[in-house]
Amino acid sequence: MNNIESVIICRCEEVTYGQLLSTAEKHQCTARELKLRTRAGMGFCGGRTCRVTVDRIVESAIPNISQAEIPLKYQPPIRPVSFGTVGDNIE
């Protein structure tokens, strides 16, 4: 695995660029299928940090895919939590 393939794209689930690219090429899958096969975008952030990159990987692996088939949805948190609230639990 070269340097670019070892770059972590989904920090929450620790999915690398190489894993995403090989899965997309092997299965010719949509962004949703790629998400389900690799768990990219299913972590704590709900895909807000990796969604665009996952979409680009699908575009590069499947050249004739339409834009309507690519986008993933992402979920906002149930309720916002401030850093102060999280930090109060540290003893």
β-pairing, 8-10 vs 15-16, is antiparallel
Amino acid symbol at 73:
K
Return the pLDDT at 22: 93
Return the pLDDT at 90: 55
If we measure between CA atoms, which residue out of 11, 5, 14, 22 comes closest to residue 58? 22
Amino acid symbol at 63:
P
Q: What is the CA radius of gyration of the chain?
A: 15
Domains of the chain in start order, with CATH, are: 4-87 (1.10.10)
Averages of pLDDT over runs of 10 residues in the chain (91 residues) are 85 93 89 89 84 86 66 62 66 55
